[in-house]
């Protein structure tokens, strides 16, 4: 837990000391897996569905691309730090679709891509991510846009 807190503070400090305050903040909340457990080594473990963390993002000169960084505790109970971007449809509409793409530290693969849908209600939004495959995954984040 100490490593996770230190990582989250590092990510937050990067946002505070950046030249520009972030355009939005996402609070990573939860995930749900199509299977209740995973195997690490020879041990079967329950997935962590409480993936608390914080992400921050900046709009770019392209209206459908943003840069993001953040940290959260993943489904394997490990801290994850990520940096990447998101390609998305118009966020001023009630529903926007997109893909998050990032390099990360904390997963076996350093690259991750996550399709998502975002419900936008003024400055507040909810982002639901989908990961198809052998073990399907759904994630939920709540965000505030400034």
Q: Give tens-digit pLDDT for 16-62.
A: 445 678 999 999 999 999 999 999 999 999 999 999 999 999 999 99
**pLDDT of 79-91, one tens digit each?**
999 999 999 999 8
Q: Into how many domains does the chain fold?
A: 1
What global pTM score does this model have?
0.83
What confidence category does residue 3 fall into, taking pLDDT thresholds of 50, 70 and 90? Answer: low
Give residue 46's domain range: 2-145
Residue 90 phi, psi dihedral angles, 5° rounding: -60, 115
Would you state the pLDDT for residue 20? 77
Given phi > 0 = left and psi -120 to 50 = alpha, else beta, which region is 105? beta
CATH number, residue 133: 2.40.160
Going from the C-alpha of 50 to that of each of 6, 8, 59, 90, 136, the distances in angstroms are: 18, 15, 28, 29, 16
Q: What is the mean pLDDT of the chain?
A: 90
For residues 7 and 68, give the distance between their C-alpha atoms in angstroms, rounded to a whole number. Answer: 15
Q: Which residue has the higher pLDDT, 130 or 19?
A: 130
């Amino acid at each position: 837990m100490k490593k996770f807190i230190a990582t989250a503070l590092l990510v937050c400090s990067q946002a505070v000391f950046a030249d520009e305050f972030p355009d939005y903040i996402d609070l990573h909340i939860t995930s749900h897996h199509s299977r209740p457990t995973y195997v690490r080594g020879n041990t079967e473990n329950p997935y962590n569905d409480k993936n608390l963390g914080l992400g921050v993002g900046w709009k770019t000169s392209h209206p459908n691309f943003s840069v993001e960084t953040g940290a959260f505790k993943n489904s394997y109970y490990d801290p994850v730090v990520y940096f990447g971007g998101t390609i998305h449809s118009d966020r001023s509409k009630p529903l926007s679709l997109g893909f998050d793409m990032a390099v990360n530290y904390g997963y076996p693969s350093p690259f991750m891509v996550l399709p998502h849908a975002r419900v936008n209600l003024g400055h507040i939004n909810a982002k639901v991510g989908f990961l198809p495959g052998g073990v399907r995954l759904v994630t939920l984040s709540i965000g505030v846009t400034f």
